[in-house]
Amino acid sequence: MERIPILKMGEFVLVSIQVDMHDQLAMTLQDDLTAQIVRSRAKGVLIDISALEIVDSFIGRMLGNIASMARVLDAETVVVGMRPAVAITLVELGMALPGVKTALNVERGMELLRATLGTPVETGRAPAESPNGHPQN
């Protein structure tokens, strides 16, 4: 059965979705990811969806669910690399993913995770006064 690889990197877990998500795959990812967060005591989850061209409401809800589950397990989730067309589709579907943090690419996402978790930022950029999460969080 095909699975989406989940990589552990320090106190973060990385997921890069490189194939078309179908519903079963999404459910498997949910199982694997929650298990991995618990096993590795991860503090942050980074989901890269830059290869995802098509989303439906199910995938949108899954992203929201994963973020909520991770939060319950005390880990922050950042979704990165969303394509413009995907963003528009999700908004039109009425799924603005209010509880999910977002960033433009993996690099920014890592920065955001580090900033959120209070880990010193390693890159040369000046740290932003407030993290690039969205205002209500």
Partner 1 sequence: MTRDEKSRIPEILRKHEPELLKDWVQRQLAAAGGRPGQLSEAALREEASRFLSALREAVVGGQFRDIAGPAWSGVREVLGEISRDRAQHGFSPTETAMFVFSFKEALFARLRRELAADADALADETWAATTLLDRLGLYTIEIHQKSREEVIGRQQQEMLELSTPVVELWQGVLGLPLIGTLDSARTQIVMESLLQRIVETGATIAVIDITGVPTVDTLVAQHLLKTVAAARLMGADCIISGIRPQIAQTIVHLGVDLQNVITKATLADAFAIALQRTGFAVQRLPHRA
Contact flag: residue 38 with partner 1 (CB under 8 A): no
Footprint (CB under 8 A) of partner 1, residues 90-109? 90-92, 96-98, 102-105, 108-109
Contact flag: residue 124 with partner 1 (CB under 8 A): no
DSSP state of 97: -
Q: Are 74 and 108 in contact (CB under 8 A)?
A: no
Strands 76-80 and 44-48, how do they pair? parallel
Contact flag: residue 88 with partner 1 (CB under 8 A): yes
Residue number with CB closer to partner 1 (16 or 28) = 16
Q: Are 122 and 113 in contact (CB under 8 A)?
A: no
Which residues contact partner 1 (rule: CB under 8 A)? 79-80, 82-84, 86-88, 90-92, 96-98, 102-105, 108-109, 112, 125-130, 132, 134-136
